[in-house]
Amino acid sequence: QVQLVESGGGLVQAGGSLRLSCTASGRTDSSYTMGWFRQAVGKERESVAGIGRLGITSYYADSVKGRFTISKNGALNTVNLQMNNLKSEDTAVYYCAAGSKGIYSSNWNTSSLYAYWGQGTQVTVSS
């Protein structure tokens, strides 16, 4: 079992920045592909960014490319999401997720492949 806890959400004006963190605990001896997903009110959960098990390969949704950066600190068991130039449409609850098998560049955005999920952190961008 792996437990994930997100932090860093909040209220920010459009054009501003936020940094989300996800800390993993429990059985973290195995390497996991990590992902960030988000869900806005009235919408389905969507992928935002992912990072491979070794922290070398990263993936991004088209809507956040060039604005968001995902990074992994293996020693601290944390995954961060740096969000710059935020827009009102980025408003959502952001979830951290971890998956161990079968996640590649072609399917990183498939939420069902991630076995572990955090509780989410709210990000609100005011226009």
Q: Which of 126, 114, 125, 124 is nearest to 36 (CA)?
A: 114
Task: Give, in order, the Cα–Cα distances in Å from 75 to each of 18, 23, 88.
Answer: 23, 11, 34
Instruction: State residue 1's pLDDT score.
Output: 85
**Please, what sign has the CA dihedral across residues 117, 2, 55, 100?**
negative
Instruction: State residue 29's pLDDT score.
Output: 67
Which range has the worst mean pLDDT, 39-48, 75-84, 85-94, 114-123? 75-84
Q: Are strands 10-13 and 121-126 parallel, antiparallel or unpaired?
A: parallel
Q: Using one digit for the tens of pLDDT, what is the confidence trace for 4-19? A: 999 999 999 999 999 9
